[in-house]
């Protein structure tokens, strides 16, 4: 667990410094605006612009609490750091070895803060592959998120969204992610007690068919809490037209169902990894789901123009 005291102690921080610091500090594993009784006033509400930045950054942090808490479990069980240098994941990229202005949260999210006074842009080094602005999310990943809230306890009760990322313009590919849940208060992050649940999420795309599914260990805790997956968003698909023939747990979703599926085309300036022209790819959102987090599920649909 790491995280410097946001806005610092001495001397008095400027508005710009506090603004940039909370934009970065919201993604520390340990995040707090902290000083002491004798420090100059620096609460985030002291400046209107800082308050806006704090709401945006901390709002995203609260949505990412499932992902961050799962990284705590990973750190506890494997020793892998929550915040890590890029070369930790991209081990063959020697140009990343000395990079100290960006970092990863887990293996899937990258943080690239503004660190220089008066700057409004940063030059970011992206490792090979496809990246999506979540702020920056890599390919082949599944990120569990919730809807956020004013306090973390409230946020942790909200429905889940799964963000699935394939390489840009994917016709074949796979992605995976995981989720650890307990009551957020037990000192031992472990399974086997009945007070925790662990889920692996998987996704594939092949020959126009997208499939997303889960594998659950120790379902009791999540089922008792009544947590659900309400939405699945898939990024990077190749194709045109709408997604269709959606199935959930082997059952076709009727047109009268409250489950909605939508497709949005996006243009990207990047070339295909194999080379080629600017591409269009599709983001698909499936919402209105009520999939119990503690129960295995399978869902699938087809991409293209419905015959």
- Token pair, residue 240, equals 């045109």
Provide the H-helix boundaries in 182-243: 220-225
The per-residue pLDDT for range 115-166, each reduced to its tens digit, is 999 999 999 999 988 888 875 566 789 999 998 888 888 888 899 999 999 9
Contact 45, 123 (CB under 8 A): no
Contact 24, 56 (CB under 8 A): no
* pLDDT at residue 269, rounded to an integer: 52
Round to the nearest angstrom and report the end-to-end CA distance of the chain: 53
The per-residue pLDDT for range 25-62, each reduced to its tens digit, is 999 999 988 888 778 888 889 999 999 999 999 999 99
β-partners of residue 264 are: 283
User: Residue 305's pLDDT band (boundaries 50, 70, 90)?
Assistant: very low
How far, in Å, CA of 69 to CA of 22, rounded?
20
How far, in Å, CA of 180 to CA of 190, rounded?
9
User: Residue 281's pLDDT band (boundaries 50, 70, 90)?
Assistant: confident
* pLDDT at residue 137, rounded to an integer: 62
* pLDDT at residue 156, rounded to an integer: 87
The residues of the chain that CATH labels 2.60.40.1180 are: 132-302
Among the listed residues 144, 2, 14, 149, the one whose alpha carbon sits nearest the alpha carbon of residue 85: 2
Provide the H-helix boundaries in the chain: 15-25, 48-63, 65-78, 152-155, 220-225
pLDDT at residue 306 tops 50: no
- Residue 1 CB-density burial (10 A; 0-12 exposed, 13-18 middle, 19+ buried): exposed
Helix (H) or strand (E) holding 51, with range, is: helix 48-63
The per-residue pLDDT for range 70-97, each reduced to its tens digit, is 999 999 999 999 999 999 999 999 999 9
* pLDDT at residue 272, rounded to an integer: 47
* pLDDT at residue 26, rounded to an integer: 94
- Token pair, residue 39, equals 């420090």
Arithmetic mean of pLDDT, 95-103: 94
Place of tokens 């902290």: 34
Fold of the CATH domain 132-302? Immunoglobulin-like (2.60.40)
């Amino acid at each position: 667990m790491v995280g410097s005291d946001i806005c610092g102690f001495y001397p008095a921080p400027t508005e710009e410094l506090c603004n940039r610091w909370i934009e970065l500090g919201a993604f520390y594993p340990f995040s707090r605006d902290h000083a002491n009784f004798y420090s100059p006033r620096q609460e985030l509400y002291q400046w209107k612009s800082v308050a806006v930045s704090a709401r945006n950054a901390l709002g995203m942090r609260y949505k990412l609490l499932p992902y961050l808490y799962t990284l705590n479990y990973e750190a506890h069980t494997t020793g892998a750091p929550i915040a890590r240098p890029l070369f930790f994941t991209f081990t063959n990229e020697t140009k990343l070895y000395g990079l100290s202005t960006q970092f990863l949260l887990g293996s899937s999210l990258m943080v690239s803060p503004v660190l220089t006074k008066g700057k409004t842009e940063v030059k970011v080094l992206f490792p090979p592959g496809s990246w999506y602005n979540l702020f920056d999310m890599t390919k082949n990943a599944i990120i569990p998120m919730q809807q956020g809230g004013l306090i973390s306890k409230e946020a942790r009760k909200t429905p889940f969204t799964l963000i699935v990322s394939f390489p840009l313009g994917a016709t074949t590919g796979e992605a995976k992610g995981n989720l650890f849940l307990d009551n957020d208060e037990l000192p031992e992050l472990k399974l086997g007690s009945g007070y925790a649940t662990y889920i692996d999420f998987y996704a594939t795309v092949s020959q126009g068919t997208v499939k997303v599914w889960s594998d659950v260990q120790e379902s009791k805790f999540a089922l008792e809490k009544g947590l659900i997956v309400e939405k699945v968003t898939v990024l990077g698909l190749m194709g045109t037209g709408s997604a269709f023939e959606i199935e959930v747990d082997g059952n076709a979703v009727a047109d009268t169902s409250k489950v909605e599926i939508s497709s949005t085309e996006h243009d990207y300036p990047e070339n295909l990894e194999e080379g080629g022209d600017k591409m269009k790819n599709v983001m698909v959102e499936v919402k209105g789901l009520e999939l119990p987090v503690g129960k295995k599920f399978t869902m699938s649909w087809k991409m293209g123009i419905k015959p």
